Amino acid sequence: MWRGQKQGYVRRWVAQDLGKPIGPKVRYSSICENPLCVAPHHLKQLSLKAFLTMAAKRKSPAVRVKERAKQSARRQAKALLKPEDVAYIRENPDGMTNKALGKKFGCSATLVWDVQHYRSYKDHNVAVNPFTHMITWAGR
């Protein structure tokens, strides 16, 4: 953010306006851990080391993968289709129409299409190539 002729971190300026110490090894974060929050009563002072540790945990790809896997497991527990149903729909060995597959598994033809095109029932437990959908389309 720009302030006058200087560019800087909003939380540092809020802390400075509140009379809190500013230094090269002092950082500010929010207690609500919302990256967009700049509420003065949410500011917490951190050492540079603690701030970098927190930022690494928050932005780590490994943490994101674990969180997605947990979310996926929660959704699968409540899901209409089981993993073996999803595999069957994607393979479609009998050459059934989407409407027929929907009747077989008790869901809509639209959901069947979304499953076949990996828009629904994504598996976050495995590292997926982000270009998988392009490879699938190229092969058809």
Look at residue 48 in the predicted model and tell me its pLDDT: 85
Residue 72 and residue 75: Cα distance in Å, rounded? 5
- Whether the pLDDT of residue 16 is over 50: the answer is yes
Q: What average pLDDT does the structure give for the chain?
A: 80
- Whether the pLDDT of residue 140 is over 50: the answer is no
Distances in Å between the Cα of 51 and the Cα atoms of 20, 36, 110 are: 17, 16, 46
Take residue 7 and report the two structure tokens written for it.
């560019």
For residues 72 and 124, is the Cβ–Cβ distance under 8 A? yes
- Whether the pLDDT of residue 139 is over 80: the answer is no
Residue 124 and residue 68: Cα distance in Å, rounded? 6
33-92: pLDDT as tens digits: 677 888 888 888 888 888 888 777 776 666 677 777 888 788 878 888 888 899 999 999
Look at residue 21 in the predicted model and tell me its pLDDT: 83
Look at residue 41 in the predicted model and tell me its pLDDT: 87
Look at residue 104 in the predicted model and tell me its pLDDT: 94
Q: Could you tell me the pLDDT band of residue 125, with boundaries at 50, 70 and 90?
A: low
Q: Could you tell me the pLDDT band of residue 124, with boundaries at 50, 70 and 90?
A: low
23-36: pLDDT as tens digits: 888 888 888 867 78
Q: Where are the domains of the chain?
A: 2-59, 80-139
